[in-house]
Amino acid sequence: MRLRVAVLGAGSWGTTVATLASHNAPTILWARRPELAEEINAHHTNERYLPGFRLPHDLPATASVEEALSSADVLVMGVPSHGLRSVLKEAAAFIRPWVPVISLAKGLEEGSLLRMTQVIAEILPGHPVGVLTGPNLAVEIMSGYAAASVVAMEELSIAQELQDVFRTGLFRIYTNRDVVGCELGGALKNVIAIACGMGDGVGVGDNTRSAVIVRGLAELTRLSVAMGGSSQTLAGLAGMGDLVATCSSSKSRNHYVGEQLGKGRSISEITQEMHMVAEGVKTCRVVMELADRYGIDMPIAREVYGAVYEGRSALQAYRGLIRRRPGSEDDPG
């Protein structure tokens, strides 16, 4: 019997993952807004988040969490980090015991500083938890371009089962036991993507972007290792792969935020016009708290925080990095 999949969250990535899963398993997509669920069912489109794309006719949608979870064998959380806890609390009343829960959110919870899988384990104890992450731009995957991702879970046998749920001909799925490293790589790269966008906004050039990506990787690796992740993970799809895609693509929401900051716009103006979440905006504040807690030097992330929350301009942020005295490239601190 094929596993039945419920995806909670009908944003661009949640809808994309539901589309992928529907090729291999009966899948239902939960949308917070009833009118979006109606659009998906009647027209097989999601024009707000994936304009111009047709969704599978056998992918139903619902605005009822109970209906979505009533027979689910796998729960996929496609809700942004700031809304994850509240949706999980609603889901707790309807999810069956031991159903695996996979997070798609690439963020960290403000206040608690928890990773998304930690939030899931807190609200749904006893359920196997994991994360699906990698260099995955929703529009490209919906367009049929080849891509790869990672399912990270401590229970390797469950991760291997889930490979067959999400894998399609051009979408390759790898497994990894390093949930911490995979999850932090996906969250922290958004902060570096804002930095790269800021550079593009002020016109610093390709050499500078390359340096920011590589030194940004060093920063997120230092923090991830301090928190229990593996440096090898950060050199793979969930780290360097996701970092390069997000820092280089005009389709990246976080890169867009940085680019608009570089052009002199305020963060409130930028975020108010966006109808999709750029996780790096909130994550950079959490990253600074974690960096202080673990004693990790993260100069690029700190300059992004300054531009987002302290009123520093993108040009001032880059000048701050340039004035910083470089140390050894292999210095772990």
What are the beta bridge partners of residue 132? 151
Three-state SS letters, 226-271: HCCCCHHHHCCHHHHHHHHHHHHCCCCHHHHHHHHHHCCCCHHHHH
Task: Write down the catalytic residue from 89, 106, 189, 282.
Answer: 189
Query: What's the CA gap between 208 and 198, in Å, rounded?
Result: 11
Q: Is 89 a catalytic residue?
A: no
Residues in the chain: 333
Query: What's the CA gap between 318 and 331, in Å, rounded?
Result: 22
- Residue of 306, 9, 251 whose CA lies nearest to 141: 251
Contact 212, 195 (CB under 8 A): yes
* DSSP conformation class of 108: B
* DSSP conformation class of 109: -
Question: How far is residue 17 from each of residues 77, 85, 104, 189, measured CA to CA in Å?
Answer: 10, 20, 9, 20
Q: Which amino acid is at 50?
A: L
What is the four-CA torsion angle of 266, 267, 273, 275, rounded to 10 degrees? 170
3-state SS class at 128? coil
Q: Which amino acid is at 199?
A: G
Q: Could you give the residue numbers annotated as active site? A: 189
